[in-house]
Structure 1
Amino acid sequence: MSFLFPAALAIAVLVGVPVAAHFLRRGQAREVTFPGASLVPAARATAKQRARLEDRGLLALRALLILALALLGASPLMQCSRLSVARPGGASMALAIVLDDSLSMQATTSEDDVRWERALAGARQLLSNAREGDAFSIVLAGAPARLALAATTELSAVRASLDTLAASSRSTDLAGALGLAESTLAELPHVHKRVVLFSDLATAEPLGADERATPLLLPLPELREPFDNCGLVAARVRGQAVDVEIACTEGADVSGRGVELRVREGTAALGTEGKPAPADAVLARAELTAREGHATVRLGADALYRDMRVQLTGRDAIAADDETPVIPPGHDLVVGVLVDPATASVQTGGATVLETGLRALDSGARIEPLTSLPEEAADLERFGALILDDPPGLTPEARSALQTWLEQGGVALALWGPALRSAPLGSTFEPFLGGAPIWETNTPDGIDPESAGWLGEPARSLGALGASGRARLAENGAVLARWTDGEPWLLERRHGRGIASSSGLPVSVDQSDLALRPGFLALLDHVVQQARSRRGGRETVVGQAWEVGPGIQVEGPAGVLRAQHQPESDRTYVEPPLHGRYHLRQGETTEERFATLHPEEMVRQPRSGPASLAQETEQAAYTDVDVSRELAFVVLALGFIELLARAWLRRGRAGAPGSRPSSRPATTEPT
């Protein structure tokens, strides 16, 4: 805090005056009656008591009175760090508190405070100034944006909600959070509404403060101070080495810092041979060189183990991203592709159109071509997704293996085509379809874009495909998109944790232009993302949902995660809030997954925000608190108490033994 007139604090030195006065004051000698003194002529007592500090309570009151006078003189206006929002006309308000719980908010400020903790403290200060009738909602801005508390006037519920919040390793979703915050206030009857954003603005997303219907406030400028940081995005086993992905902010000081590969004692070695790991030891080390942006460091070791971790030595602004587990082999998302190159390749040869489209997504998934669909469930174990182009049908063995794989979270897409006309005797179309599809040449021109709106803007490219035929699908599943004549084009059927989808067009450019349209890439991306959130998401970015079935318990760095359920879509999922290793347990079965950091979240520097927003925040959310009136009341109260205490002490002395003159001789205590 600071004072408008600091010189007035010099009044506080006068507190020594009453102390000196109390020391100089000598108390009245206490008379003690001595019976034998009656035989001695009366003499005048001249003894004195020892000089000692008397009436200590009264002294304390007088000292406090002088200190309060010093504060009052120094502070017609005392400035402190309490956050408040102006109330036009003193009316009740509705506030949507947006807390950025992304990774960058775990950086420290210049005063060595963690930004997330500072933001929580600011939110609590707003709540402490609330009055009856005020409404609050809480939105979290880590990706994806979430509603922590719907708008309520129950202030105790708001306090309880704030107490349950914790920092996360997510990336930032400011646009989604601000939109969600405005929606929580839209239906409230309050005239004065505000969205209060506690964020470092370490994102490329524009705030759009001037375009928002609800005024936006951006307090606590210390949250947006620049910082230096290097962090570990992920570490993966590659052959006999570990590749460590590192991200650093611009100009980060890495002098004296290194990267260490460590192993936990007793961990089993990778492979079929090798002894368990010795005591916690450093397997490999490399110096961290000055860099900006992203880089990869390779750490080689004589032996590799299952439970290894990589650690950055030294300190920087964010300690949470200086350690990460090593992801063992086999955790990449693998997409199996069953396609006939003769019908699904471009005329110049090379990769098929389907494989080219999957690689164009740059999703990090590994594409593995198949010559036939495996007939054993164990052979499908490594796949997260399967895409079958123009299959003639499935054998009973392949159908059984596929059914088991789907129930465990697999995602499959079958693009039915003219091969349906030559389906072998005894083939089946389960688990994709309940009945046999029929290939027909009488077909509309394309897909109804409105019915495929969930694909986003690319859905408009499917309106005219020039299709020469289509597979007529029996409507025995959820219809995700329709032809312009209303017939199903894309069906979805759920099996346990998995999904089996069917398309009424194959990939072949001889049958339609489907594979050449942006909507096709959007469909492939949908399949990949579904696979990541179910079976294939052995390695995903923090915050990306994992589909879970009944009875599955998910445990990670923060303990057991609570599953969330969406009744409208019958979807149960968890969102890993921190990076690290997770275990999905169901009975005696345990599946290992990893959540990694978003690299851009680690290198973006905070922004200061628009100047107009800073000015509006200065006017509406202020930190100046005038306490002169309260101090004046304190001074008056202390003065009144001092008068009462003095009167009480005098009355006590007047009625005490020996306080009145006595005719009897008295002796006195020696001085």
Structure 2
Amino acid sequence: MSFLYLWAVALGLSAIVPLILHLRRRQTDRRVSFPALRYLSRAEDARSRSLAASDLLLLAVRIGLLIALALAAAGPLIGRGGAHDHEPTDLALIVDNSASVGRLDEDRLLFESLVELARSALAAARPEDRVWLFPTVGEPLAAGVSAGRAAPALGQLRPTDGAADLAAAVARAAAALPADGERRREVQLLSDLQASALRTAPTASGDAAPLVAYAPPPPTEPNGALVDVELTGGTTAPSGTGHGVIVRSARTGPGASPDLSDPGAAEADIRLELDGRLAGAARAPWGASAILGLPELAPGLHEGRLEVDPGGARADDLRYFAIRVVPPPAVRFHGNPTSFVGLGIETLRDGGRLGAGGNGAVAVVDGDVSVGAPWEGAGTVIFVPPTDPVDLAAFNQGLASAGIGWQARVDAASGDLGLTEPEAAFSLSGVRVRQRYLLRATGGGSAADTALLRTEDGEPWLIRTESDDRLALILASPLTAGASDLPAHPAMVPFLEALLVHWSHLATWPFADFGAGRPLTLPEWASEVESPDGTIRGVEGGARFTPLRAGVYAVRGTGSDGAAAETHFAANVPAEETDPTPMARRELEELFAGRPVFTAGPDAGAWQDGIFRARRGRDMAPWLIALALALIGIELYLATPGRSRRPRADGEGSEVTSGASN
């Protein structure tokens, strides 16, 4: 037992007052020589024992009353107490609102259960506590406010389709708590403790703020999801060619291995919707990829989604994509028309995948840049270096004349190297490079520069960069049979198509889909973004934007030419959110080894018992006050005048005294 106000215990000494008054009481009756009084005296003696017991009881009640009041004033604390019986605390409350908490927990969503537990934590907070409220996806909802003000902020929390990084969330929350030492500090984490959500290794923490993590019931069924989608022609594709989508499914969690006795459970039924209409379907084993063809698309913006039968969390059963179809790019070739590059361009042009040259076209400069400026009037220029290193100086001069901050240097090393696999629908496996120049930025490079391909030693082999008024792509090797195996490889024509179509003229924002809950940079011309639910939000060009829900977003604004511009991008549930496997409690404690870690759950009672670790015991003052009120009632009853002197029928209760007592 402990006391909030130990000095108040001294008030218990007042209990000696009724004891002294009782001991000082003395008989003052006068003896009168009258025979009838002796009879009355004997009758009085018969009741004296009852009266003495009543006096002793009254004494005990008064002593107990004073002791109870003194103890109540001292604020006694007994035992560990409940969640409400804690010291003043700065609380960082983290509530998981990622896509993985969208699974069912008995008869409701796990997210709803987590919010209810968060409300119980706020209800257990004391008036002197301060609360910081954090979602795992999104900005903080409250900072240093009372529990009463944090409750409405909690009501504004909504689930998202983003991915949680629990280690980063805990670090952010702990850093927000003041370290002044005046209050206790505690971090409470309400999450599904998804193992894949602990991506960031926590740094060693010098603070002693304990972490109380809720351990929910583990998932009872596997989660079937679509984890990846790829457009074979990219997000911007030429018209008149076939397009398709490659989608991959996954089945994770308990019972993820299919039941061999049920062939249907081993395969995923995938449906394709395009512009709101069913456009195709496929069946593929879980974990495998399926290719679904798209119908011929007219120029313009198109939206689509892929769907699999519900299983586990609902958000990852869908995968969205957006595609812009444009006329084939016009290509101008400057070089030997019988070279591999020239013949490949003619093949693509004959197949309708390339257009004729003209202003705003793609210019391909193969080796010789000494005559004129062949890139003039082109929106994109592709530079293929010369075979002879003697011509390298003229090649670099041409790069500088075009305003490109890259140069090619002779590579003193010899031998052959492989190429890394491109992010495209073709493979460069088996292609060896025997002649290569080293591409070096002259001005430190730009943040917009991208190495689209590299050799296996990490050197860039294909660079995409932006100059003042055009896009440029620079190859590190000539496209000849002596320089590499690529000209004679089956991937030569697909490589040229990617180079001329998807990586150059048509490589407009966005280049791929985005992960929900992750910030992205909008194009410079953007002025508003329309969310999948129809909400329109004004934005600034080039600003950061975070899509919280999966779906297709529309970006609108005014282009550099003054005309209205619009594009679409897709946001999808990150692949790591599809695996519901939770982290074991022991692994959680090992992960956050730098701070005290406690787990509580899965029932609400265990959560209440685990939070607010710095408890001071249960306050007994209310019970003592109730006891004091009861004793006051008893004391009033016992001390009522005439309570024991009520007249009786036989007259025995009539008082005949010859004196008084003090």
- Which structure has the larger Rg? 2
Q: Which has the higher contact order (CA 8 A, sep 6+)?
A: 2
TM-score under structure 1 length normalisation: 0.48
